[in-house]
Amino acid sequence: MFKIMSSEMIVPSEETPRHSLWLSNLDLVARRGHTGTVYFYRPDKSPSSDFSIIESLKTSLAKSLVPFYPLAGRLGVDKNGRIEINCTGEGVPFIVTRSDTTLDEFDNFEPSTEMRNLFVPTAAHPDPPCVLIMLQVTFFKCGGVALGTALHHTIVDARSAFNFIEAWTSIALGEAGCIKQPLLDRTLLRARVDRKVMFNPIEYMSDPKLVIPSRISTSYASSILKISKKHINGLKLRCGDTAGARVSAFRAITALVWRCFCMAQKLDINSKSRLYTMVDMRSRMCPPLPPTYFGNAVIRTSVSAVVGDVISGPISHVAKRLQGATNHGNDYTRSLIDYLETADMGNLPRRGLPASDLRVISWLGLPMYNADFGLGKPIFCAPALMYYSGYVCLMDSPGNDAGVSIVVALEPKSMPGFKELLCEELATLHA
């Protein structure tokens, strides 16, 4: 079904600095591996040839690797054994494949290992030395196109990744003057000389129950469920959204997802469930980091609750509990960075959750659908792979209807119940 047509290394179009780039503690605690994302494009009414598309993508990529030159390097290790980026300019793998399938055959795309293997390049390992970004363009027999990207999470968070894609797009469209130069200096998030740990970051502390082999090793089912703007407004109202107390779409939707998850998992109502999330701290630092900060500027945070309260209590109370997990600021982040300075990085929890817990991350508001490249805006964009059961990603739905897509991975036995419960809850909403 899929045939590799070419594979080459794209290097920066100009000479770039050669040096080592220090990584912050927030970089080092990120998941060690590449995050795969897939963009799908409908055939153009007056399509360009496959050759011209490829040449445009390669030429603009080479130019974008000049301001974003660390991506053309390799993950390395300094003399003390600390992970760093070796800015070597070696280049980025760029693969072209052709498929005898049509784009319509992937209308019901669901993240999985199979989808990742079809559309996104994979690395032999995620440890030094390894490439930092890999790209694949797939041409369908109907004229549609897919772009698969894989960026190493140790060096970028979601906002940084999409900022790069947006800059690459601007160059491809002949709008190089519009790109926002990335801020590459990670020392802005260096630990303080007089370290001061004022909080207890349990999300970064080793806990045997956070790694449950049975849940990590078992296969998961994934689905992408869409919520309309009307349902979001109704859900926010139910969560107490008023002129004097605003409730974000993230908190409202996450409260609903948490409730349906606890019921679908058939958790004991007297037990506890913990919900983990990630918070972008760029605007919350003092002074704030610019939106163009190129690195990991997100922190893990969480909140726990009695299952019976999540299931039976007012959903407004659940949304309010989430506020405590998402209101950290500069003091907490600086304290966390100081804590990580002396923590055993190799022994920190990085993946896996007990069956009672859930992790919800947000791609809401990120420029996912600005990835035009001259192909038109993508008709759909999604993670290529989920990492384990209990992993959820909220992202803007395609189009202009302001809806939200819930990408969820659960144990196969729990997924049907989760989807049914979510639909039932949405049916009771009135905007």
What is the pLDDT, as a whole number, of residue 214?
A: 45
Taking CA atoms, 238 is separated from 82, 156, 185, 396, in Å, by 48, 36, 43, 21
What is the pLDDT, as a whole number, of residue 131?
A: 97
Burial of 225: CB neighbours in 10 Å, binned 0-12, 13-18, 19+: middle
What is the pLDDT, as a whole number, of residue 46?
A: 52
Angle between helices 415-427 and 249-264 (to 10 degrees): 130
Q: Are 402 and 229 in contact (CB under 8 A)?
A: yes
What is the pLDDT, as a whole number, of residue 47?
A: 55
What is the pLDDT, as a whole number, of residue 209?
A: 52
- Out of 153, 157, 280, 357, the active site residue is 153
Q: Three-class SS of residue 168?
A: helix
What is the pLDDT, as a whole number, of residue 387?
A: 86
What is the pLDDT, as a whole number, of residue 348?
A: 73
Tokens found for residue 66: 């000049």
Catalytic-residue membership of 153: yes
Q: Please tell me the distance from the alpha carbon of residue 295 to that of residue 366, in angstroms, as a whole number.
A: 15
What is the pLDDT, as a whole number, of residue 350?
A: 63
Q: Please tell me the distance from the alpha carbon of residue 240 to that of residue 262, in angstroms, as a whole number.
A: 22
Residue with tokens 């991506």: 71
- Out of 44, 50, 185, 372, the active site residue is 372
CATH superfamily name and code, 209-427 = Chloramphenicol acetyltransferase-like domain (3.30.559.10)
The residues facing 380 across adjacent strands are 40
Q: Three-class SS of residue 116?
A: helix
What is the pLDDT, as a whole number, of residue 213?
A: 47
Catalytic-residue membership of 280: no
Q: Three-class SS of residue 162?
A: helix
What is the pLDDT, as a whole number, of residue 178?
A: 83
Q: Please tell me the distance from the alpha carbon of residue 88 to that of residue 107, in angstroms, as a whole number.
A: 40
| Architecture of the domain spanning 2-189 | 2-Layer Sandwich (3.30)
What is the pLDDT, as a whole number, of residue 197?
A: 93
Q: What is the pLDDT of residues 171-190, one digit of tens each?
A: 999 998 888 899 999 999 99
Residue 285: how many other CB atoms lie within 10 Å: 16
Q: Are 30 and 160 in contact (CB under 8 A)?
A: no
Q: Which of 169, 161, 160, 179 is nearest to 294 (CA)?
A: 160
Domain boundaries, the chain: 2-189, 209-427
CA 413 to chain centre: 25
Show the beta-strand stretches assigned E in 196-297. 221-227, 272-280
Q: What is the pLDDT of residues 63-102, one digit of tens each?
A: 999 999 999 999 999 999 999 999 999 999 999 999 999 9
pTM, whole model, 2 decimals? 0.93
Stretches where the chain sits below pLDDT 50 are 210-214, 431
